[in-house]
Amino acid sequence: MEVTITNENFEELKNGSTPLVVDFWAEWCGPCKMISPIVSQLAEEYDGKIIVGKCNVEEAEDVAAQMGIRNIPTLIFFKDGQEVDRHVGAGSKQILQKKFEANI
């Protein structure tokens, strides 16, 4: 399942019972555009096992600042409200899928 992360819903999703991965991105970011289809495909493949959130860093500045986002794309994996893994930069489907498998 893929959802839009906002300043208002981040804490609720992060602290939910289903693991969460947040894709921090921006419209102008080339590498973000490269991995976006991969992240969406993984969201479909892992539907029901993990929630995939898309967080536009320009629209949810509070969330980006809270998580210390300095470079995009950045994927952060959460379990039980805690960050358990982070991937910065573009990556192949194989690399990102290993991260998903390790964190569900």
Any idea which residues carry the catalytic annotation?
Answer: 29, 32
Q: What does the block give as tokens for 31?
A: 């590498």
d(CA 103, CA 50): 9
Among residues 93, 66, 68, 71, which one has the least CA distance to residue 25?
71
Q: Name every residue whose Cβ is closer than 8 Å to that of residue 68 and which is 6 or more positions away in sequence.
A: none
Q: What angle do CA 22, 26, 30 make, to 5 degrees?
A: 110
